[in-house]
Chains A and B, each alone.
Chain A
Amino acid sequence: MPSHEIRSAYEAVIGLEVHCQLQTRSKVFASDAVVFGSQPNTNISVITLGHPGTLPKLNRTAVEYAIRMGLACSCEISRYNIFDRKNYFYPDLPKGYQLTQDKTPICRKGSVTVRLKDGSHRDVIMNRIHLEEDAGKSIHLAGEPDTLVDYNRAGTALIEIVTEPVIRTSEEAAAYLTEIRKLVRYLDICDGNMEEGSMRCDANISIMPKGSKVLGTKVEVKNMNSIRNVQRAIDHEIDRQLNETEKGNAIFSETRTFDAGNGQTYSMRIKETMNDYRYFPEPDLAPLVVSEEWLESIRAAMPSLPQELHRRFVNDYGLPDYDAGVLTDSRETADYFEEVCRHTKNYKAASNWVMTAVKSVLNERNLHINDFPVGARELAGLISLVDSGKVNHTIASQKIFPLMIQHGKSAAAIAEENNLLLQSDGGILQTLINEVLLSNPEKVKEFKKGKKALLGMFMGEVMKRSGGKADPKLTTELLGKTLKEI
């Protein structure tokens, strides 16, 4: 562990590169399908395999998805784009070069606001988002003398989202990744699944004396398949660099891999002059020009973003910041909540129901909110039933709500059929009150002598006898009156 002294003398600087596989049906430069889990080498074409004489052709939807992400991050959109060849040899790269954007990334600058645990906000400044193609998959099996290559993934459209080196802690990095994942899911351009590799993250990490203007030597850490693991890898790597520095050792520019098993990073290769990608413009792809009209049509088709919804939930629905955060966690949850609010004005009650009762059922049954058996209108009906005083909250959540999930009937129908409506018949309540008071003569005496706290006990007894259904307001009123008259 690095000493307290060195920890307080140095600060970390982190930049993230996030690759997201775009959910287009076909590949970025060819018409073979993009499908996860197919038989090896079945989603291929002569373009994907890099056969001589073939011509790549750009997928319009991939361009639009990349621009959507750029707009969501307030980037500048490049109006004139060319593609570049990034040259290197690796078996999963059939052409010997990757088609990417070096000089003209489709989106530049921009930022993403992240919320930290202490409630503060930070803007993570971005450098660029560019379009490129994914590589195939190399499979190294134990005991197998060869490496096996599957090109199904080769040519899948990717966006690479690159931040400036402005992230200071692993917590900020995790918050940023959570936000990026939320955005790509809201925009419906990537499923954000880090375990399956449709979203991947590389972290560039360095340390420097606090307040320094000169960045330290950066180390790239790869192979982290969850946000949690990115956070662990960064923490470990910062500590490792602090330790090395404390021992007087230099930090080498290198690529390290993260081992989730023990939370450590290991050196993969020293970065050297060998990584000379010799970028040059791809002559086989015509320049891409993004016109004002095209950009406007993409902008017009943008769904509401989590931050907009968050603001709306706080401002228009008067919800606390916390509620807005939970409800906008996924687009579907936010949509469901808004749909409930179309049928009730009690927004806070709607929020409570969605955040607690609905969410816990979803978690228990591992359901997606789109498959939730109680419709938004029906949930609003239950809220109205409680608000009208016809049922109390306990009965609504413990008896009516579970039955709604089972039968899909309206709350009012269930309450009626199962005799769950509050007892507001004064005559019946009076009978119950009389019974309670008659069977507790000692307590009544004590009450009359001034032990007013006993009112709660009488109230509880009446409730019990009514099966929890006594209208509390009317009961309090009648009980008070009866006690006074005794």
Chain B
Amino acid sequence: MNADKETLRRIAHLARLDFDEKEEGKMLDSLNKILTWVEKLNEIDTSQVEPLTHMTDEVNVLRDDEVKEPLPHDRGLLNAPDKDQDYFRVPKVLE
């Protein structure tokens, strides 16, 4: 399978990755190498195999509906790149 530049740009946009046109060729090349490598899996017939979603057989890891001590407000805001007394601040988002 070969991805084209448009696919590359779409994936880059979805992942919020930014690179210039010079790098595009390199990225596309790299992406196609990965795709080719993963394509190897197509050699196996998996039509009778359930998708593997989890690495253990554990099920129903549940908690009771109990409230525990929250993260203190100032600790929660500690690592925010921008904040005020109350809120996380982010560049203006308008719909």
Pairwise interchain contact B67-A31, C-beta atoms closer than 8 A: yes
Q: List 9 A-B contacts (CB under 8 A).
A: A33-B70, A91-B90, A139-B87, A140-B93, A146-B92, A147-B91, A278-B14, A287-B54, A287-B60
Pairwise interchain contact B71-A45, C-beta atoms closer than 8 A: yes
Chain B contacts for A139, CB-based, 8 A: 87
B residues with a Cβ closer than 8 A to A are: 10, 13-14, 16, 51, 53-56, 58-68, 70-71, 73, 76-77, 82, 84, 86-95
Complex: A140 Cα to B42 Cα, angstroms: 49
Chain B contacts for A274, CB-based, 8 A: 13-14
Pairwise interchain contact A46-B71, C-beta atoms closer than 8 A: yes
Chain A contacts for B51, CB-based, 8 A: 281
Partner of A26, one of B66, B76, B94: B66
Minimal Cβ-Cβ distance residue in B for A24: B65
Minimal Cβ-Cβ distance residue in B for A64: B65
* A447 interface contact, C-beta 8 A: no
* A362 interface contact, C-beta 8 A: no
Please name 15 further chain A to chain B contacts, defined as beta carbons within 8 Å, in addition to the given A32-B71, A39-B73, sorted by A numbering: A24-B65, A31-B66, A32-B68, A40-B86, A44-B71, A60-B65, A146-B82, A146-B90, A147-B89, A148-B87, A274-B13, A276-B10, A278-B14, A281-B51, A287-B59
Chain B contacts for A146, CB-based, 8 A: 82, 89-92
Chain A contacts for B92, CB-based, 8 A: 140, 145-147
Complex: A87 Cα to B13 Cα, angstroms: 13
With A44-B76, A91-B90, A283-B55 known to touch, is A49 a contact of B71 (CB < 8 Å)? Answer: yes
Complex: A42 Cα to B88 Cα, angstroms: 12
Pairwise interchain contact A140-B90, C-beta atoms closer than 8 A: no
Complex: A297 Cα to B29 Cα, angstroms: 57
Complex: A354 Cα to B16 Cα, angstroms: 60
Complex: A76 Cα to B89 Cα, angstroms: 43
Minimal Cβ-Cβ distance residue in B for A139: B87
With A58-B62, A148-B89, A150-B87 known to touch, is A286 a contact of B54 (CB < 8 Å)? Answer: yes
Pairwise interchain contact B61-A41, C-beta atoms closer than 8 A: no
Task: Tally A residues with Cβ within 8 Å of B.
Answer: 51
User: Smallest Cβ distance from B91 to chain A, in angstroms?
Assistant: 7
Complex: A429 Cα to B88 Cα, angstroms: 82
Minimal Cβ-Cβ distance residue in B for A285: B61
With A25-B65, A150-B87 known to touch, is A286 a contact of B59 (CB < 8 Å)? Answer: yes
User: Chain B binding site: helix, strand, loop or mixed by DSSP?
Assistant: loop
Chain B contacts for A43, CB-based, 8 A: 70
Pairwise interchain contact B70-A42, C-beta atoms closer than 8 A: yes
Pairs A-B, 8 closest by C-beta atoms? A61-B65, A31-B68, A148-B87, A281-B53, A146-B89, A286-B61, A91-B90, A149-B88
Chain A contacts for B63, CB-based, 8 A: 31, 57-60
Pairwise interchain contact B54-A41, C-beta atoms closer than 8 A: no
Greatest chain B CB density within 10 A among A31, A63, A281 is at: A31
Complex: A57 Cα to B62 Cα, angstroms: 6
> Which positions 254-295 of chain A face chain B at CB distance < 8 Å?
257, 268-269, 273-274, 276, 278, 281, 283, 285-289
Chain A contacts for B95, CB-based, 8 A: 257, 268-269
Chain A contacts for B86, CB-based, 8 A: 39-41, 148, 150
Partner of A33, one of B58, B67, B90, B93: B67
Chain A contacts for B87, CB-based, 8 A: 40-41, 139, 148-150
Partner of A32, one of B55, B67, B84, B88: B67
Minimal Cβ-Cβ distance residue in A for B95: A268
Complex: A186 Cα to B92 Cα, angstroms: 41
* A397 interface contact, C-beta 8 A: no
Complex: A32 Cα to B93 Cα, angstroms: 27
User: Smallest Cβ distance from B35 to chain A, in angstroms?
Assistant: 16
Pairwise interchain contact A140-B89, C-beta atoms closer than 8 A: no
Chain B contacts for A90, CB-based, 8 A: 93
Chain B contacts for A285, CB-based, 8 A: 61
Chain A contacts for B77, CB-based, 8 A: 41
Complex: A343 Cα to B11 Cα, angstroms: 70
User: Smallest Cβ distance from A153 to chain B, in angstroms?
Assistant: 13
Pairwise interchain contact B54-A283, C-beta atoms closer than 8 A: yes
User: CB-defined interface of A27-63 with B at 8 Å, one 1/0 digit per residue?
Assistant: 0000111000001111111100100000001111111
Partner of A59, one of B56, B60, B62, B76: B62
* A337 interface contact, C-beta 8 A: no
With A151-B88, A273-B10, A289-B59 known to touch, is A45 a contact of B54 (CB < 8 Å)? Answer: no
Complex: A90 Cα to B82 Cα, angstroms: 16
> Which positions 99-153 of chain A face chain B at CB distance < 8 Å?
138-140, 145-151
* A252 interface contact, C-beta 8 A: no
Pairwise interchain contact A60-B62, C-beta atoms closer than 8 A: yes
User: Smallest Cβ distance from A62 to chain B, in angstroms?
Assistant: 7
* A82 interface contact, C-beta 8 A: yes
Pairwise interchain contact B61-A58, C-beta atoms closer than 8 A: yes
Pairwise interchain contact A149-B66, C-beta atoms closer than 8 A: no
With A39-B73, A44-B71, A57-B63 known to touch, is A148 a contact of B88 (CB < 8 Å)? Answer: yes
Greatest chain A CB density within 10 A among B62, B86, B88 is at: B88
Pairwise interchain contact B90-A147, C-beta atoms closer than 8 A: yes
Complex: A91 Cα to B91 Cα, angstroms: 9
User: Smallest Cβ distance from B34 to chain A, in angstroms?
Assistant: 16
Complex: A43 Cα to B76 Cα, angstroms: 10
Complex: A69 Cα to B91 Cα, angstroms: 39
